[in-house]
Chain A
Amino acid sequence: MELDPDDIFKDDEDDPDSEFYQQRESSKEFVVYLVDASPKMFSSTCPSEDGKEETHFHIAISCIAQSLKTQIINRSYDEVAICFFNTREKKNLQDLNGAFVFNVAEREYLDRPTARLIKDFDGIEESFTKDIGSQYGIVSGSRENSLYNSLWIAQALLRKGSAKTADKRILLFTNEDDPFGSIKGVAKADMTRTTLQRAKDAQDLGISIELLPLSQSDEEFNVSLFYSDLIGLEGDELAQFMPSAGQKLQDMKDQLRKRMFTKRIVRRITLSIANGLSIELNTYALIRPTLPGAITWLDSVTNRPLKTERSFICADTGALMQEPAKRYQPYKNDSIMLSVEELSEIKRVSTGHLHLLGFKPLSCLKDYHNLRPSTFIFPSDKEVIGSTCIFIALLRSMVNLKRFAVAFYGSSSRPQLVALVAQDEIISAGGQVEPPGMHMIYLPYSDDVRHVEEIHSDTNAGAPRATDDHIKKAAALIKRIDLKDFSVFQFANPGLQRHYAVLQALALDEDDIPEINDETLPDEEGMARPGVVKAVEEFKLSVYGENYDEESDMGNGKASDASKKRKTAAENAAKESASYSWPDLADNGQLKDLTVTELKYYLTAHNLPVTGKKEVLISRILTHLGKSCIVMMSISA
């Protein structure tokens, strides 16, 4: 594949083809959302983030909507169905009462989410009462059991596909902790029994049922009344299950989003310790840069997908050839030929496993000993019994003695020295914060480390060093601007969020692209607090002295020269650009007759990027002039 030259998210150093960044095609997930639509869901409220009261129904709906939007980007091959129960109208294949399966055109009940589904679902609250309607489905004197019906429908929907290739789940939203509370006696026992049996049957088929209970502000959802039996909670789990009362909407959404990821083993490897003693480990990628989805090239005229065909042409003879098996490297006026096998043999300096080399104190692991995201390792007893025991023993020793292990990881792409840093489990009220295990940190080799600090050493005078007073002022400043509960991944990536927002807006034909909130901007308000300002001023005074003017600061002579040059160039371009009639040129298709330099006048004058081939420049000008339009298309799945 040709690489996208101006892919904004790619760092120059990242090689998207490297094995390391490739994500495997994951197995699918089938989800049925069961939403209680009883009047109680509409009457109960809890406070939302901005202080307004929101109905439980709204919470459930926005939760699903949010999750669909995430899903369509991250895991668009997953299939979903949405089914309301305790409804007035009925719509389902089984024609059962009190249950309504929500769907849109060109889509099966259980199918991949589409832009239309998301759009229509966003508007469901307005149309709900008219089209679907809410009513209690389980009432005394009637044999109807809407909960039972909905479980049955969900199970039928999930009959599709094999349990081996797909995860099947039912997510149940309700605020009724005792669905059979309104009936009594034998009828109640009977309905309870049959409903539980229905749930158990589904679970036996490999379908997991998860409950998302909604508590009212005055009364907590009591899981033990009925649902603990339905989802099979026991003992401690029961106590831990119910999150604190008045759970926030945000928590719910987070909970859902977290569940979007299924845990996957990247590789099974062994760690050989010594004397042929080897233990079994699984590696997991806990942290990897998230990139926007892959690009599909389309024909801009028809909007149909294109396939890329690669052909190899001999530069000397012009003959078409097969992909050559030999590579060459110019060396000493000669071309040294190497076969692909030879190259992989060169790289094979060790088996593809971890070899323990020894241990070092944690202080030996410097901040600059890093190259790539770390990999998490966790023991497994699947094949070699006893691995976990050894792993735990080593982990505890390493944590207690504050040491890390140095090992050699002989992967086929880049065999490398790694540091194994032991991590104890950290648990907070919300659950596991850090799992127990070791993190494999990829260490640089000597030629990967650069000694840039020393380039600008001043040997005559020695580098300026802060005095105690300077340090004291700096310390005061640090105390002032302290992020107390900073958590590493509290920010969403604004570039990525914007990308998704644009896609969503275009796909759903929305006019406005929603502004995304850049969480990474500094807290201006906090920075402007008098205490902070004072600390900054004092530090500044201390290190810069009085009457310090930043703009006229010395030292940057060269750079300002360059920027001056740039400025003149820009002014010149603006002048030149003004002498052309751009819209006319564009309308008459004469842009291609201009030289690249001429085209660049326009681009520079309008602050647009000047990189790329002539065609790119022209199309950039056209877009800027508003002469091209966005076309939408759809591919049947």
Chain B
Amino acid sequence: MARNKEGLVLLLDVGPTMYSVLPEIKKVCSMLIQKKLIYGKFDEVGVVVFGTQETDNELTKEVGGYEHVVVLRNIKVVDGDLVDAFQELPRGNFDGDYLDAIVVGMDMLIKKYQATNKGKKRLCLITNALCPIKDSCEGTKEDQVNTIAAQMSAHGMKMESVIVRGRLCGGGDQRIMAENDRLLNLFSEKTSARAVYVESPTALLGAVKTRNISPVTIFRGDLELGSKMKIKVWVYKKTSEEKFPTLKKYSDKAPPSDRFATHEVKVDYEYKSVEDPNKVVPPEQRIKGYRYGPQVVPISSAEWDAVKFKPEKSVKLLGFTDASNIMRHYYMKDVNVFIPEPGNARAALAVSALARAMKEMNKVAILRCVWRQGQGSVVVGVLTPNISEKDSTPDSFYFNVLPFAEDVREFQFPSFSSFPASWQPNEQQQEAADNLVKMLDLAPSAKQEALLPDFTPNPVLERFYRHLELKSKHPDAAVPPLDETLKTITEADPDLLSEKKDVIDAFYNSFELKENPRLKKSSKRLLEKKRSGSDEDCQDTTNALAVKPVKVEKIGDSSPVQDFEAMMSRRDSPDWVSKAIQDMKNKIYSLVENSYDGGNHGKALECLLALRKGCILEQEPKQFNDFLHHLFNVSQEKKLRNFCESLIPRGLTLISKSEAIDSEVTDDEARNFLVKKELKFDYTEFLLKLSEIRHILFMLPFPAPTRTDYGLDYEYKAVTLAKGEQFSKEFEQLNPLRYVPVLVDGDVVVSDSLAILLYLEEKYPQRALLPDDPRRKALNLQVASIVCSSIQPLHMLGLMKRIEEKVGPEEGLLWAQSSIEKGFFALEQLVKDFATRFATGEALYMADVFLAPQIATVVMRFNIDMSNFPILSRVYESYKTVPEFRASSPEAQPDAGS
């Protein structure tokens, strides 16, 4: 058996109260397996779920009992199937008994490994421990736990329990919870088990150790308190950065037919003389040179060994000092931990006494450490006490490296008191800041501390491994968006922000920020501004036009328009015009791109106007027209729609034939360029609202066709299903089936979303919803049809109610989830070769009109884990950038919340 091979059994509670966190559990388990596939390919994993209706485990066959515990997978070597297995995690409908599951898991480990693999057997339990465990026939529950814990210790097993609490479990019987907590903590006391409580999805993702690294001591020996006393200690790393994996370089030189190709790339180094590049020096003929001023002093490693600093391996105490003398920001590196030599009770006692005395007196110790013999440097660091809260764990110390005199750069900074009065906060501002610091609290006393480093997963690595998994299935998969749960790490928690909105608003209103008007260089950084001061800037640049500098060679930051015109007018080389146009394009692009709240838009527009003028003058219409198209697409993608809007009043459109003879654009086309885009969105908004399933749209006095230039006006009328409005008389006249929606166009009445859209497609062809290409057209109809007939009806409220009545209270949701996932898998397959920005291409088509609300609804109502559907997720992200979609999402409806 390989030395570091681990045997792990995951014990997952899938009872009804766990439904809300199952997606997170899937994620963290997949992550665990994905990492094992890379770092622990020989590790073996078994999966047990409990709280299921079925019972399937060996113990129940052998001795009876152990009901509602299913062995999903026996202990075997990790493989790709296991990752997939979590995607179909069953949902149970019984209250799980975690103690039964633990025993089943132990039984599996014992049968698999017997006495071998000591210390490498691990149980990992994830539960909310809301349900009581069964009473035992022999002895109390405590006795039961004690017996099990003793067995665990005897077999050298470890256990990790992740207990889901707080807002994740919705609360339960306090008495039962307290009992379970006591029992689970009893494990921690009696055997090597660890119980952690998590209250947020993020913490759940971080609570399970996804990678097992066997700890290695960096020092074993004496901690010397002077020459008279020594304490035997072992030093380990306490923190160590888990690095992004180093990927190998890939060679595509081997022919594709070569099935044994390694595709590896060898990197070879050759050392050549600087003066004579033909002369290759063999590696052993090299010698290291160290710079000393303009000189280079050659010293061979061996010489160096002879003269270098050679301290003796030792860890010596220099003294104690007040903890306040060591500021936190002087900690230099990752942290070590000093533990007393295992099995040495006297060392443990000595460490305990020192640590506790230091804690009481608020002192720290300063040490000088040389970890290894032959190490060429020493470290000086600070030892701080770590008082153990667990009886079985000895007290220890943390050790942080401190800087040497050479490592500190003593820069002088101005005192805040020397700043002008306008930079000093006044009383009211200080109060606003106090409130913000007080109220934006991540560690409120009633709740668990949010973003505790110990429970915060690394979002980048999580994303990497998920991407790897996706790519293993679909080699062309795009990088998935950052997991929603993990967004609370990279951005402020929206719940917290909305909860403390008044405090934030007060803070916001107390201070004023504005861009420095005297700023010469526009920085490339995003500059979010409170109140746009860009008008001033534009003024400056236009005024500056009067003064013409000579020989401008590139477009600067301060007066781009002026520079551009100067460059265009240079006649000393024909290249200047194209260079000027190119430079200006880049400038505009960077202005638009780097403007957050429209701060640079004014400037960008001025530049665009100048560019247009220049292109007409120099008869380069294509340059400008292409650029404008490009800019348009970019701004749509980047949510910079307001930039496009601001083009209209300034008449910034394509250059037409009448302006420049080379142009391929007619006057009409030019005029409609901006308008058309506008129309597209209004129409889309309308369509999206139309297909919003929960609502009805009816009584629609359609406008005269002449008005369609400006979009379709319609009256929106909601029927709230929950109130049963669809059963009203009035509605029945329109739609006998009483399903929504219904379209009333003059005297034409059409119900059923698909039919409505096809009707509109025929009648109002100015915005086609179906592409011309028959293949794509069919694809769109297929998507629409799948949504309409194979997904949407299967999760209608009525049906679910019915199932719940007939089958069982939890079955409704289960039914809906499985139908939706089935449908989504089909959709994902269907569109995978076509989807780019939207489901069937770059533009919004009928498929999107059906998909958008469908995805929004199911994500909200049925808690579907969209990470299984990377394409749909991506497309869905694009929908969110379409403003009309946001406006028509269920939450934004006029009748939302009723």
Contacts and interface: CB of A to CB of B under 8 A. Distances in A.
Given A2-B269, A287-B408, A473 B353 contact: yes
B298 A475 contact: no
B334 to A, nearest CB: 5
Q: What are the nearest 4 A-B pairs in CB distance?
A: A8-B376, A623-B302, A327-B247, A439-B329
A416 to B, nearest CB: 9
Interface in A365-400: 365, 367-374, 376, 378, 381-390, 392-398, 400
A462 B210 CA distance: 28
24 contacts: A13-B240, A115-B292, A263-B411, A275-B508, A278-B526, A300-B298, A303-B287, A303-B289, A314-B266, A343-B247, A373-B331, A401-B434, A408-B491, A427-B415, A436-B415, A446-B207, A453-B396, A459-B190, A466-B353, A486-B319, A513-B307, A522-B317, A623-B302, A628-B300
B515 A384 contact: yes
B453 A444 contact: yes
Contacts of A503: 290, 292, 297
A443 B453 contact: yes
A276 B241 contact: no
Interface residues of B, number: 227
Given A304-B273, A383-B519, A459 B413 contact: no
B388 A463 contact: yes
B79 A620 contact: no
A301 B285 contact: yes
Contact of A307 (B272, B291, B293, B433): B272
Scoring B264, B328, B374 by chain A CB atoms within 10 A of each residue's CB, the highest score goes to B328
Contacts of B191: 459
Given A8-B377, A288-B407, A520-B380, A556 B341 contact: yes
Contact of A393 (B311, B432, B443, B519): B432
A115 B209 CA distance: 55
B607 to A, nearest CB: 20
A183 B368 CA distance: 59
B291 A324 contact: no
Contacts of B523: 268, 383
Interface string A179-203: 0000000000000000000000000
A450 B356 contact: no
B516 A329 contact: no
A540 B229 contact: yes
Scoring A347, A388, A450, A497 by chain B CB atoms within 10 A of each residue's CB, the highest score goes to A450
A297 B238 contact: no
Contact of B274 (A263, A307, A334): A307
Contacts of B226: 481, 522, 527-528, 532-533, 536
Contacts, number: 771
Given A258-B410, A456-B394, A358 B346 contact: no
Given A463-B395, A495-B376, 17 more contacts: A268-B523, A277-B507, A290-B406, A303-B287, A311-B270, A326-B249, A335-B250, A361-B443, A369-B453, A384-B529, A414-B460, A446-B458, A451-B194, A481-B319, A494-B378, A533-B228, A619-B301
A454 to B, nearest CB: 5
Interface string B206-245: 1101110101000010000111111010001111111011
B447 interface: no
A274 interface: yes
B407 A633 contact: no
B37 A331 contact: yes
Contacts of B544: none
Contact of B415 (A115, A327, A425): A425
Contacts of B254: 314, 316-317
A95 interface: no
A333 B180 CA distance: 43
Scoring A337, A393, A609 by chain B CB atoms within 10 A of each residue's CB, the highest score goes to A393
Contacts of A615: 283-284
A113 interface: yes
A419 to B, nearest CB: 9
Interface string A427-460: 1000110111101010111111111111111111
Interface stretch (B52-60, B359-367, B562-570): B359-367
Contact of A609 (B211, B240, B305): B305
B195 to A, nearest CB: 12
B730 interface: no
Contacts of B275: 304
A246 interface: no
Contact of B346 (A301, A314, A459, A544): A544
Interface string B670-685: 0000000000000000
A521 interface: yes
Interface string B484-509: 00100111110011000000110110
Contacts of A315: 251, 262-266
A536 B223 CA distance: 13
B490 A415 contact: yes
A278 B38 CA distance: 41
B313 to A, nearest CB: 13
A463 B355 CA distance: 14
B599 to A, nearest CB: 10
State the main secondary structure of chain A at its contact with B: mixed
Contact of B468 (A305, A336, A451, A483): A336
Nearest to B246: A327
Interface string A547-590: 01010011110010000000000000000000000000000000
Contacts of B331: 367, 370, 373-374, 441
Contact of B297 (A9, A396, A506): A506
Interface in A78-114: 112-114
B329 to A, nearest CB: 4
A34 interface: no
Interface in A267-283: 268-270, 272-279
A293 interface: yes
A73 B327 contact: no
Contact of B453 (A342, A421, A446, A544): A446
Given A335-B263, A492-B404, A452 B245 contact: no
A327 B248 contact: yes
A425 B416 contact: yes
Contact of A368 (B352, B398, B460, B486): B398
A292 interface: yes
Given A311-B267, A313-B266, A445-B453, A474 B356 contact: yes
A491 B515 CA distance: 45
A358 B237 contact: no
Contacts of B325: 486-488
Interface string A596-637: 000000000000110010011001101110001011111111
Contact of A470 (B335, B352, B422, B596): B352
B536 to A, nearest CB: 13
A615 B286 CA distance: 11
B793 interface: no
B267 A489 contact: no
Contacts of B270: 308-309, 311
Interface stretch (A135-143, A144-152, A160-168, A349-357): A349-357
Interface string B634-656: 00000000000000000000000
B274 A306 contact: yes
A637 B295 CA distance: 8
A296 interface: yes
A125 B239 CA distance: 54
A507 B289 CA distance: 11
Contacts of B505: 275
Interface stretch (B92-100, B471-479, B843-851): B471-479
Contacts of A457: 192, 390, 392-394
Contacts of A273: 436, 507
Given A4-B288, A305-B289, A635-B296, A492 B281 contact: no
B707 interface: no
B240 to A, nearest CB: 6
A358 B492 contact: yes
